[in-house]
Amino acid sequence: MSDESNQRTDTVTFVQEWMMSGDHEPDQWHRDFAAAIDARCTPSVPESAKGERVVLTNGSLVTDDHRDIIENGPRAGQQKAYVVLSMAERAKGFVRPVRRSYVHKACGVVTTMGQSLAETYARDPAFYSGTFCCGCGTHFPVGETGEFVWNGTDEKVGS
């Protein structure tokens, strides 16, 4: 892939993330616009990633090393990349509200995640086995016996 098309993909990702971020709940207009941008940039999505049920948060194919932990910088402790359901898969409908923030009950710190991760939870609540805590700087299990609740609720993340 050329530098130019890499840059275009970065810009598309930036615009999508920007539109879907913030304190507001993204409405249907935002979703449609993000989907339209996604459709327009389809040529820059690797041919091999099309039709995949799961992809990385940037829309590319899942790599063998995506679980490697970043050691330094602002993303220290996080995985190199996270797997999400593809946009087509998420578009099939949510079975839970889209929630971006959760509390780690052990430390009380709120962690906020990106829109594609939040929508993956909303489409398939049991998709992930664990999640990251910004306070502790590491991952812990989610689910009924996990230590995470959606911010402002008593509802366990991953349940």
Q: List CB contacts of 18: < 8 A, sequence separation 6 or more.
A: none
Of 60-68, 94-102, 120-128, 132-140, which part binds Zn ion (CB under 5 A)? 132-140
The yes or no reply on residue 95 touching Zn ion (CB under 5 A) is no
At its nearest, how many Å lie between Zn ion and the CB of residue 66? 22
Considering the complex, state which of residue 104 and residue 156 has its C-beta at the smaller distance from Zn ion: 104
CA distance 140 to 149: 12
At its nearest, how many Å lie between Zn ion and the CB of residue 133? 3
The yes or no reply on residue 137 touching Zn ion (CB under 5 A) is no
The yes or no reply on residue 156 touching Zn ion (CB under 5 A) is no
Considering the complex, state which of residue 90 and residue 104 has its C-beta at the smaller distance from Zn ion: 104
Select the residue interacting with Zn ion from 107, 110, 112, 138 (CB under 5 A): 107
Nearest in space to 155 (alpha carbons), one of 127, 133, 122? 122
- Give the C-alpha distances (Å, rounded to integers) separating 119 from 34, 55, 61, 136, 140: 13, 13, 18, 24, 20
The yes or no reply on residue 135 touching Zn ion (CB under 5 A) is yes
- Spatial contact of 47 and 61, defined as CB atoms under 8 Å apart: no
- Give the C-alpha distances (Å, rounded to integers) separating 132 from 6, 34, 60, 103, 141: 28, 26, 21, 10, 9
At its nearest, how many Å lie between Zn ion and the CB of residue 104? 3
The yes or no reply on residue 49 touching Zn ion (CB under 5 A) is no
